[in-house]
Structure 1
């Protein structure tokens, strides 16, 4: 009998409804610096590491700026927005506490920079419930590569095949699946994942309230897509 012994969360779009904030802040930053936002920009940015998206904004959308300058400006605005209001997804605190109380070690693998990961988990009051947290800026490749999820599994001391990942985006779903994890998709209504990425999920949940220890046990023995 297979067992899912650990759970790894994405952050943006899963625990915090940050994608609309990221889009608004980066759109505004590009416009303020004379750049042009493209129709496919938001889809391209989802799952990128800080190094990747700042380079894309600096070179592809704006021009004449250094990626580090872009990253510092955007991240600074994100922190200020979070200080004003942290837009948690419904059931975010509850699902973390529910799975932690069940005894499974928890991790985070996020494309957000380290400072925002720590800020969100502190504001949620759940940082001490996570055994391992990682920003994809700390590994060689961001999502859809599996590097982040594989590293978190290693830090949890649990094989990736015995971990469940909770994701919302196309690149996040691809990343967790490539790592060998069972993936639970919680699609964001405004930014739904591509159908081919959604097909990689072992289960599609309507919201975080649907994710329980019993659900993890139910999907453990299902064949991986």
Structure 2
């Protein structure tokens, strides 16, 4: 793990959404299991955890191979989205430290974006159901670019929309897939590993919490 360059060089922050800012991954896995059961397929939690960080088409391709069937994308995702919407009606919890970090970024006057392997409207809906509504200038979902993570496209597009060079962007990610994508975009990456992380990912810093990652990046005082 390297140290960040001196002088706080970051001109923008880009965040993954699920599992990084919002505590939604367990909800999403439960919704997926429910949706697949509605379609007549039984999938265990361990298999679902292996999908964390993948975009929808890739996740469905993995599930299709696992089940030995061809899952029709729109029908499957329609059930999945409906199951997720039911779980989000009572509000979406945020990850510890997310609000404090965004407040600090506001104080520093830095722009920020979300770059996610979810669809953009789904991401916006989840943000609106949480306490993070209105906190991001840009939200980029996988359908806005040619390729989802682990390709770098969503991060490159987020930087382009913010008007900031990728090399001056700091990324917060939870998954190995997202970390690889942000590194391929030429960005500095803080990873807060999720339950699917499998080992060294190449992130510049592995943090236990958002606050620890922010301190490493010199966005907040250590311990602050």
TM-score above 0.5, yes or no: yes
Aligned residue for 2:210? 208
5+ residue gaps, structure 2, are 1-5, 220-224
TM-score (norm 1): 0.84
Using the TM superposition, give the Cα deviation of residue 179 of structure 1 relative to its aligned residue in structure 2, in angstroms.
0.6
Do the aligned residues in 2 keep the contact of 1:7 with 1:106 (CA within 8 Å)? Answer: yes
Q: Which has the higher helix share?
A: 1
CA RMSD of aligned residues (A): 2.3
Size of the aligned set, in residue pairs, is 213
**Which residue pairs with 2:69 in the alignment?**
63
Q: How does 1:157-172 map to 2 (within 5 A)?
A: 157-172=163-178
> Structure 2 vs 1, CA of residues 101 and 126 (structure 1 numbering), >3 Å: closer, same or farther?
farther
- Of residues 91, 105, 123, the one that matches 2:111 is 105
In structure 1, distance between residues paired with 2:107 and 2:185:
25
Gaps of 5+ in 1: 219-225
Q: Deviations over 1:20-49 (max 9, x none)?
A: 111111122223322242686335422222
- SS class of match (2:200): helix
Distance 1:72 1:55, change over 3 A: farther
Distance (whole Å) between structure 2 residues aligned to residue 65 and residue 178 of structure 1: 30
Q: Which residue of 1 aligns with 2:57?
A: 51
Q: Could you tell me how far apart the structure 1 residues matched to 2:86 and 2:164 are?
A: 36
* Higher mean C-alpha displacement, 69-78 vs 83-92: 83-92
Change over 3 Å in CA distance of 1:72–1:62 after alignment to 2: farther
- Within-5 A mapping of 1:81-120: 81-120=87-126
8 Å Cα contact 1:185-1:201 kept in structure 2:
yes
Work out whether residues 45 and 53 of structure 1, in 8 Å CA contact, stay in contact via their aligned partners in 2: yes
